[in-house]
Each structure stands twice: as structure tokens, then as C-alpha cells.
Structure 1
Amino acid sequence: MAWDAELLRILLVEDDEDDFIITRDLLRAQDRMRCEIDWVATYEAALETISGTRHDVYLVDYRLGAYTGLDVVRAALPGCERAPVILLTGQGDYAVDLEATELGVTDFLLKDRLDPSALERSIRYAYRHHRALRRLRDSEERFALAVRGANDGIWDWDLAENRIHLAERWKAMLGHRHDEVSTDPDEWLGRVHVDDLGRVRHAITAHLEGRSAHFESEHRMRHADGGHRWMFARGVAIRDESGTATRMAGSMSDITSRKAAEERLVHDALHDALTGLPNRALFRDRLALSLRRAERQADHACAVLFLDVDRFKIVNDSLGHDAGDRLLVAVAERLSVCLRAGDTAARLGGDEFTILLEDVRDISEAIRVAERINTALSRHFLVDGRQVFVSVSIGITASRPGHHQPLDLVREADIAMYQAKAQGKAGYAVFDTEMGAAALRRLELETDLRHAIDRGEFEVYY
């Protein structure tokens, strides 16, 4: 069953026809997304097509002859605002992954690990994530236009007499009749939420003292029903010949609905649509904050766990993608129960999860959490009336002096997770420097073998 009624137009930028055919066939093999795929094979053709044709998603190969996929992004898709971009590559490269993230690329996929389900999930996540961000931008733009034409609740403050005129509409927005509110300025400031009052007073003072061009503030105000409403107040002062403010007037708009919508959109942009867990972006931000705290506080450390669900592809293939999604939701719920207050569980995509553990004294605390997770997941899951058993392989790493980049810790935990899988699944492994060196050696060996093939350096003996 398709997850979206509309037909997605996908542009594949790929200089290898065999890889194009493979990607096209992967898209055709999945049945959850309606799409049509256009293909261009060169950097120049990509720039021309992107400038002249609208696409919903861009799949861009990293290697494009003398250019790279990132060159395409810089030249034709700055900030990836037009549509989400997914980078495809034949081999993992952390530096490329990091640069792609900085350019706004939504995902970074290894070709040899792709299957129809993984590709569909990545496109679905990228498309919905981009749509949530676009709706947030549209909401902000619509509000800006509305504010310029609105004339909601007028207020006029006589600073010399310290009296304020509040229009009927101003009073009605807060649930009051005209005769229920006096001309005392405290009728306004006294209704401002205590947590916002200092900020409002500061903005007013800054404008009256000439340190800002106008007064503007978003704050909560007490309604007659006892609740609070979000208000947007703006105004400008009138000054005498000496520059002293004698009067300030403006208007107030009720932005409660917009605030609620923005909070929903921000939540959607920073959380996984399937499980409701924080997504990759929010996890990276929280990890970055924790690492900055560790730089300031010598006694603070954090740990990262990278989890991959074992045998998940078997569940997907045998019970279907909808059942697989329901299983992922159930796994996410159990993971959340295993964490301490202040820790973060996130879904990176597919069947991969990460966990940030705050204030760990040593790696044994992270190991105990990993063991608690494996115990919790050892119980069966009930999916569509069937008992399903899954486990996770967990990679563990902890922050150390000199660790400043969030992606470094995630990469280390990822490497350790593969070590845990190699040891037999349903277990955990703690990262050490030898694991990183071994991963680098494997990457260098793969690169050398590829170069050897290109240079015809192999000889076959019978």
C-alpha cells in the first residue's frame, strides 16, 4: 500500500548505466511508493535538468567523472531547499558524509547495502522531513504577511501620564469586557506570564532608550479563563525634540494557534515520523551539547550506543513492510523504557537506533544499559497476532578528552556495533582504537583492490 497518494518524481544523477539500472530496479521492486525516475549521467546534464524540471527527490551519485555529487549540490541545489537530496556512494567516507551533512544532504547511502526496503524508507523519510521543514517555512512566511495587514488589539501608552488605552479588541482577546480593564499599564504587564515578564520589560526599555528601532515581543498573557494565550505585541515610541519617548503605541495579535502549529511542525522536523523518537538531526544536536558540556566540566562524560536490529530484513520479507514498521515502533517503546531520565533514544533510519547516555562515570554504566536493553528485547513481540523474536547488536563508545565532533562518537559506536554483529548478534561490543584501525585497513584494502582492478593488476592462475 502506497504511503502517499501523489506520484513522486525522482531524478537520479548517476554516471554508471549499470548502477542506474540497479537503482531503477530497486525502486520498481518496492510497492509502497508511487514514483517515476528520470536519469542523467553527467554533471552538466544534472545542472540543466535541475534548473528546468521540478523533482520531488534527488538521488545523486558521489562519483561523477571529474566532478562529485557534492559539486552538483553546491551548484544547483544550495541548502537543498528545492527538494531533499540523498547521496549514493560505492564506499563509506566519513569526511564526505560530514561535508554532505553540512550542505544539507538528507541521507548518505552505501550502494552495496541498498535493498528496495532501505531505499524506499530513505526516500520516504527524506521527503516527509523536507515537507515538514517547508511547511514550517511557509507558516512563518504566511504569518509575516498577515502581521503587516493585521490591526488586532490596539494599545496606546501615554508615558508622561503613565496611562494606557487598550482597545476593545485587545480586551476581548483576553476574554474581558470593555469595562473590566482600567487605564493602568499594569493591566497589560500584570497579565504577562511570570516567565516572560522580564524579557518583555527588557524589550520595552531597550526601545524607549533608543537601543532598538521598535518594540516587539512574543509572550504569554493570562486569559480571563485562567489559562494563557500567546500574544505578539509590537509598537513604536514617539519622542520629543530631546529624543525622550513620551508615548508608545502599537497592536497585539493572538498567535496561540500559530505557536501550537509551529511546535507541532518543529516536533515533526526533529522527530522520526514512524516511532516518534528524536531523529538524526535532534540526536546530533543533543550529543553536540553534551560534548560541549564535557569540554567545560571535567567530571562530565557521555556515552553513545549504536543499535541495529538483528534479522529485521527477515521480518520485513516474511510479514511485510507494515508489520516491520509496527515492530520498529514496539522496539522503540521498549528502548525508551530502558533509559534513565535525561538520556536520549533516537532512530537514525531503517532498523538503526542510537542512544545518548548523559553523565556516565565509566563505560560500565553504558554496558549495564546495553544488557538491560538486550534483556528487555529478549521477550517476544506480538505483531499482527504472531509472536516475533528479535534482538539487537549494540556498539558502545564513550566521550574522551579531545572528542569534539558528534559524528566521531557515532562512527565509533557504529564500528563497535559491526564488531558485535560479527561476534554472533544479540550482544554488544565496546569500541577501542584497534577497531577503528581495522576499519580503516579494510577501507584502504577495498580501495587498493578497486584500483588494482582498474589498472589490470590481477593475474588469474588455473
Structure 2
Amino acid sequence: MTWSDDAPPSARVLIAAETELAAQLIAALREAPSWRFETSVVHPTEVDFDRIDDEFDVYLVDVSTLDPHVSSADVAGRRPVIAICHELETSLERVRAAGGYELLEQQDLTPRTLERTIRHALEQAQLGASLREAKARHALLMRAANDGLWEWDLNTDTIHYSPRWKQLFGIDDEDIGDSRDVWLSRVHQDDLPGLRADLSAHIDGRSVIHQFEHRVRQRDGGYRWVLSRGLVRRDRWGRASALAGSLTDINRRKRAEALAAPHALHDELTGLPSRRVLVERLEHAIEQNRRDPEFRFSVLFLNLDRFKVLNDSIGLDSADRILAQLAQRLRDCVAEGTLVCRYGGDEFAILIEGNDEFSEADRLAAAIHDNLRQPFDLDEQTIFTTASIGITNSARNYERPAEVIRDAGVATSRAKRRGKSRSSTFDTAMRQEALNTLRTQMQLREAIVRQQFEVYYQPIVALGSCRLTGFEALVRWNHPKRGVIGPIEFIALAEETGLIVPIGQFVLREACSQMAAWHRRSPDANDVSISINLSGHQLGSPTLVTDIEQVLDEVGLPPEAVKLELTESTLIDDPTTATRILGRLRDRGIKLYIDDFGTGYSSLSYLHRFAIDGLKIDKSFVDMVGHDDRKAAIVPSIVGLAHNLGMGVVAEGVETPQQARELTLLDCGEAQGYLFSRPVPRDQASELIVRRILWDDDILKGP
């Protein structure tokens, strides 16, 4: 393979196929627009994947030659293998499981498609080889370092530990595996919540570095102080992909500090007591409650909402001033003697001891929320922010401070999921919910690695003619045990963890590739478009526009065939960035639609500002047609607004002929919903493309 500036790129290709297919491949490769290919042909029975070597750069094989019992890593790790099949006779997932890199249908073997697929396969193979080489160098470095080094792969949730790291724990002669629990299970129970919080803050982008001192249990049962430091590595979409760092033995220094430094009991930025004071006071409160059940205590755990966005927009120094002002406000809200401490980052904790009623904690939380309605003043800036508050109390018969902090943190997470600026009191069901959420998150990461997602397509029709005008691409998770899972069960968690970015990238590429294939097969369907949802995380990616352009170029789909759907809240979160990015997308011919219109801000000003092409009426309003005239009245208002602004309008969730008839009378242009079709996999969508007129328009004429 050559990549010279003086000559066109070239590659050596081995074709393992019957005579007719081999001839088709050779002809297509000869007409490739930019590359030059040297080809050799063997019968499908003669190719030996166990002996792949450097003689060829890429393999084009009939799908029947792949062995389903061979691991894809065993084959694709050596040379890229591209499988050719007849129309819809197998799936890409099965091909990849058997060792193939990509799957092409025989009818799609154009010179441009074949060249593009081979180029992409070779680029990925080079990246894989570079990665393996980098890992080998990294392993050598880890063996030589004095500090204990670790590297956490966030996609697989595994951690690699250096020999020196194991020595610090006194387990250097053990085969410990690559689980997080190898580390976390040895951390002192009072230090573990803080370590988790610090790691999470850095992964989420709320801190510039992970740096945390904690105690680790050694083989003899004793504890040693270590300093953990690390930096996150992010992919081109800004998603955290790995965290690498070190453990340093600081046991001697900590012993000296314990003799001399009372300042460790207070936070330097806010002047509040530190988490160490909280732990000590909680130990005392738990013991007192154990002796006297009438002694009550409550803990409020407070976390600022959208603090990362605040950090990014006003800078670290200004954000620190917000934290200092917040600390003073919390002092002002509590009674004298009530402990307020800074737990870490933007997290604060309040301990109420000896309270007559647990409802005191609820009243304090309400007072804090009320206080935060007042803006923070930073020179000439006025900043508004809110907080989520989790509450737990001594009625749960806690035995250790770590349990109290854990449950208060779980309640805080519940408050955030309920919509920010909320309070939530812990109950046992929350803990199980937190465990289920963590389990689902780990399974989601695995699903991304194992490519367990599939795109379904829901038709969009022109109401006047019942003619197919487009599809909305909707993701489904093919869970190995639970079967096909709809987005309502995992999209919110994917948004919260940032995993929506790789999932969104998959949907974008898969949907555009499929639509391009439909256009090639049915030239009279070139006016059928594909609508794709765009998340806030994707909109915030600096490479979004170039990523979309690259996908469209590679699959051969014109930008005019793509509609991107965004929610109102996504636009309002960062309007400056949204204006810039959406303007660039629209300049390239991509259409922009507001999804679920009417359920969010519904501001007329942003419809002009963001140059929106169309509105999608939320299903909740369409449901009211024929049932609640007052609520249904918003539908003609939205249709009229769209017409006055020269925009398209699509009604979502149309399920009855009556809804379709009334929307038609209102001059609503398009609709989608179960009346016409549920979301369907691509093979069923292909049949709808062929039919085009999908439904009898008698449903629009009434009884």
C-alpha cells in the first residue's frame, strides 16, 4: 500500500469469489476514481484466514467464506476483510462476528463505493496497528515507572495496573485482573465517597485534573496514604474515553502533617469545614443515635446544576467566586451550630443534629432553593444558578458515615433527574434504582463496543396524498438477554453520561448510508428524506459539521435529503453555539426542524435566530384532537405559525383517522404515527420505499 504525494494511492487486493463476482469486483476496481489497485483472484475455498500476511493489504471475499467460529479480532486485527453478499442475505453484525470489517451488497458495487470502503478499511487498520504499538510502548513505560501507574478504559470499564501500583498494595505477586474493584475495594470506607466524587467530577469535566489523597488497605490489613492523580483523555466529540494516572506513596508526609496542620480541617476557597470534619461529626452523630434513638440527625447534600456549563462559560476563577458566595449563603440559611461543609468541587453538605422533626431538613432545602433565586454578582455579570439537594436522616439506622454520604448522594442524583432545582429524600428504592442505573450504564458501554444498536425507520407521509416523503431514524438496542429495547429506557441515561454521542454518530452514519442506498436502488425515490435527532451533546461538539459532511460524502447522500431534529431546550442551553453551528449546517443545505414543538420554550425569537426550516407538533397536542378542544387549539396555532414563517410542519403521533382528517383540514403538511406505520427495521422500510403510496387516502375522507 502506498500513500505518496507524487503518485495516486494504491493497494494490493486479494479477491476470494466465484468467477462472476470476481469479474465484477475487478471491473469496479479498475474504474476507481482516485486509487490504483493490484488484484489477485482465488477460489473462495482457497483463502486461508489463518495465514493472512503482508502480501495483500485488503481482502474482498464472498460472505460464505467467513467462518462464524473465528473471532473478528483474530482476523480484522491482521488485515481488513470486506464481505460481499447478495441482497439482504445476511447482516453486518453476523459478518463482523465472523471476522469481516464491512458488508457490501453485490448490487452496490460501484467503483466509488468500493474505493471508499477500502480506503476507510485501510485507515481503520492503520489506526489499529498504531494503537497496538502505542499500547506496547505504554506497557514498557509502566514496568519502568517508580509511581504506581494505572489506566482506566471508560468504554470497557477496565483498569490496567502497573507492577509498581500492585507493590503499593502489597499484592505484586498476585494476578489481580482489571476490575475497578481491585482498587476501590481496598480504599478506606471514609475516603471512598470522596474518591468516587473526585473521579466523577474530572470525567464529567467539572475539574481540570483528578487529584485525591486517600488511604488504601494493604495485604496485612494496615492502611497506607497515597496520592492519586490523573487526566482524562477525550475523543474528538469531547466524550471521556480513558483516564490515566498514578499513585504516589505519601504515607510519611501525611504522618508529619497530622502532627502539625490544623488547616486541613477547612476548605481554603470557602473557609468552610472540610469533608474530614463532616465524617468526624457524622461518626459522633451515629454513635449518639445508637445510644439514644430520640436523637435525630439529617444530612443535606447539595450539588449545583449545570456547573460544568457555568465553568466553561465564565471561567474557573469566576466559578470559584460563585462557590465562595454560595458558601456564605448556606451559612446564612442555617441555624447557629449547624455544620455546613464543602465536600468537594461544587458539592456541599449540611448536617442538622438534634432536630425535633425530620421535616426541618425539607424546610431548610426549600429555604436554600428560595435563596438561589437571587442572582450572583460578578463585577458586571449577573449569574443565575440552581442546585439539586438530596436528603437522608437517622431513621435509616446508619452504622458508618460513608453510608450516610452515599445515600444522600443517591438522593441528589434523583433530584437532578427530576428536572434540576429540586429536592429529594432518600428511600430504599433509590438505592436499587442507582444500582440498576449503574448496571445499565455499564451495559450501554458494552453495547457500543459490541455494536448492539440498530436503526428503525418510521415513515413520514404527506397528508394530502398519503405519499411517503421521508423517514425518522430511531435507535433500538438489541440486548442479548432482553431483546429489542426502545429508546425510552436508555436515551435519558445515555444523555446524562455522554454516551449519546457515539450512539448518535452510529445512527447518523447508519441512517444516511441506508438512505443513500435506497436512492441508488430507486431513483424515483430521491425526494424521500431522512430525519435524524441531534442531541445537545452532539451540538456541543466542535467537529459536528465536519463529521456530518464526512459521513454524507462517504455514503454519497446529498445534504438536501437530511433533516436534523433538535429539541427547544437543546437550542436554549447554549444559544450562541447553536446559532453558529446550525447556520453552518443550513448553509450546506441540511434542513433543521424543532422536535416536540410547544412543550418547551416556544419562543418566536429563536425561530428566526436559528433559521429553522420546520416544526414538529408534539404527540401530546395531537392526542387532544377530538377529545379536548381547548388543549387541541394549540395545533392550528402551530400550523398557522409555521405557514406564516414559511416553515414546514409535521404532526407526530397520529393514531386515528379523525386526527388525520382534522390535521388535513388545518393544512398540516405531513404526519407520522401508528395510523400509518410503527417504526420498522430497514428491510420492511425498503418495501415501503418501493410502494411510495402507502395508505388508502379514504381514511382522510371521513365516514
Instruction: State the TM-score, normalizing by the size of structure 2.
Output: 0.35
Counterpart for residue 209 of structure 2: 120
The answer to whether the aligner puts 1:107 opposite 2:195 as a matched pair is yes
Counterpart for residue 146 of structure 2: 50
- Superposition pairs of residues 292-371 of structure 1, within 5 angstroms: 292-371=287-366
- Superposition pairs of residues 271-310 of structure 1, within 5 angstroms: 271-310=266-305
**CA offset at residue 139 of structure 1?**
6.9
Q: Which amino acid aligns with 1:395?
A: G
**CA offset at residue 50 of structure 1?**
1.9
Counterpart for residue 179 of structure 1: none
Q: 1:452 to 1:392 in 2, by over 3 A?
A: closer
Q: Which amino acid aligns with 1:348?
A: Y
Residues 90 and 112, structure 1, Cα contact 8 Å, conserved in 2: no
Q: 1:98 to 1:281 in 2, by over 3 A?
A: farther
Secondary structure at the aligned position of 2:334 is classed as coil
d(CA) in 1 for partners of 2:303, 2:450: 37
**CA offset at residue 358 of structure 1?**
0.9
Secondary structure at the aligned position of 2:342 is classed as strand
Residues 121 and 350, structure 1, Cα contact 8 Å, conserved in 2: no
Counterpart for residue 262 of structure 2: 266
d(CA) in 2 for partners of 1:297, 1:72: 49
d(CA) in 2 for partners of 1:455, 1:311: 31
Q: 1:77 aligns with which of 168, 171, 176?
A: 168
Residues 301 and 358, structure 1, Cα contact 8 Å, conserved in 2: yes
Secondary structure at the aligned position of 1:400 is classed as helix
Secondary structure at the aligned position of 2:207 is classed as helix
d(CA) in 1 for partners of 2:184, 2:340: 22
Q: Choose between structure 1 and 2 for higher RCO, CA contacts under 8 A separated by at least 6 residues.
A: 1
d(CA) in 1 for partners of 2:293, 2:370: 33
**CA offset at residue 381 of structure 1?**
1.4
Counterpart for residue 86 of structure 1: none
Residues 397-425 of structure 1 deviation map (CA, whole Å, 9 limit, x = unaligned) = 11235410212121211111122122222
**CA offset at residue 308 of structure 1?**
0.7
Q: 1:404 to 1:380 in 2, by over 3 A?
A: same
Secondary structure at the aligned position of 2:348 is classed as strand
**CA offset at residue 287 of structure 1?**
1.1
d(CA) in 2 for partners of 1:139, 1:96: 25
**CA offset at residue 47 of structure 1?**
5.8
Counterpart for residue 404 of structure 2: 409
Residues 338 and 352, structure 2, Cα contact 8 Å, conserved in 1: yes
Secondary structure at the aligned position of 1:334 is classed as helix
Counterpart for residue 61 of structure 1: 152
Q: 1:138 to 1:284 in 2, by over 3 A?
A: closer
Residues 171-221 of structure 1 deviation map (CA, whole Å, 9 limit, x = unaligned) = xxxxxxxxxxxxxxxxxxxxxxxxxxxxxxxxxxxxxxxxxxxxxxxxxxx
Q: Which amino acid aligns with 2:145?
A: T
Q: Which amino acid aligns with 2:386?
A: S
**CA offset at residue 387 of structure 1?**
1.8
Residues 306 and 354, structure 1, Cα contact 8 Å, conserved in 2: yes
Residues 309 and 391, structure 1, Cα contact 8 Å, conserved in 2: yes
Secondary structure at the aligned position of 1:354 is classed as strand
Residues 303 and 388, structure 2, Cα contact 8 Å, conserved in 1: yes
d(CA) in 1 for partners of 2:445, 2:310: 34
Counterpart for residue 397 of structure 1: 392
Q: 2:378 aligns with which of 370, 380, 383?
A: 383
Q: 1:135 to 1:113 in 2, by over 3 A?
A: closer
Consecutive unaligned residues of structure 1, counting only runs of 5 or more, are 1-38, 80-88, 141-258
d(CA) in 2 for partners of 1:424, 1:294: 34
Secondary structure at the aligned position of 1:100 is classed as coil
d(CA) in 2 for partners of 1:119, 1:336: 27
- Superposition pairs of residues 152-167 of structure 1, within 5 angstroms: none
**CA offset at residue 307 of structure 1?**
0.6
Residues 78 and 103, structure 1, Cα contact 8 Å, conserved in 2: no
Q: Which amino acid aligns with 2:187?
A: A
**CA offset at residue 291 of structure 1?**
0.8
Q: 1:421 to 1:116 in 2, by over 3 A?
A: closer
Secondary structure at the aligned position of 1:403 is classed as coil
d(CA) in 2 for partners of 1:345, 1:117: 21
Counterpart for residue 438 of structure 1: 433
**CA offset at residue 393 of structure 1?**
0.8
Counterpart for residue 3 of structure 1: none
Secondary structure at the aligned position of 2:146 is classed as helix
**CA offset at residue 303 of structure 1?**
1.1
Residues 415 and 435, structure 1, Cα contact 8 Å, conserved in 2: yes
Counterpart for residue 678 of structure 2: none
Residues 205 and 308, structure 2, Cα contact 8 Å, conserved in 1: no
Residues 47 and 75, structure 1, Cα contact 8 Å, conserved in 2: no
Instruction: State the TM-score, normalizing by the size of structure 1.
Output: 0.51
Residues 279 and 401, structure 2, Cα contact 8 Å, conserved in 1: yes
Residues 340 and 350, structure 2, Cα contact 8 Å, conserved in 1: yes
Decide which structure has the larger Cα Rg and report it: 2
Q: Which amino acid aligns with 2:152?
A: D
Secondary structure at the aligned position of 2:293 is classed as coil
d(CA) in 1 for partners of 2:228, 2:451: 42
**CA offset at residue 61 of structure 1?**
3.3
Q: 1:323 to 1:373 in 2, by over 3 A?
A: same
Q: Which amino acid aligns with 2:203?
A: L
Residues 121 and 349, structure 1, Cα contact 8 Å, conserved in 2: no
Q: Which amino acid aligns with 1:107?
A: L
Q: 1:438 to 1:341 in 2, by over 3 A?
A: same
d(CA) in 2 for partners of 1:67, 1:311: 28
Segment of structure 1 superposing worse, 324-333 or 447-456: 447-456
Secondary structure at the aligned position of 1:308 is classed as strand
Residues 146 and 164, structure 2, Cα contact 8 Å, conserved in 1: no
**CA offset at residue 325 of structure 1?**
0.5
**CA offset at residue 341 of structure 1?**
2.8
Residues 73 and 103, structure 1, Cα contact 8 Å, conserved in 2: no
Q: 1:448 to 1:370 in 2, by over 3 A?
A: same
d(CA) in 1 for partners of 2:413, 2:152: 25
Residues 302 and 399, structure 1, Cα contact 8 Å, conserved in 2: yes
Q: 1:99 to 1:399 in 2, by over 3 A?
A: farther
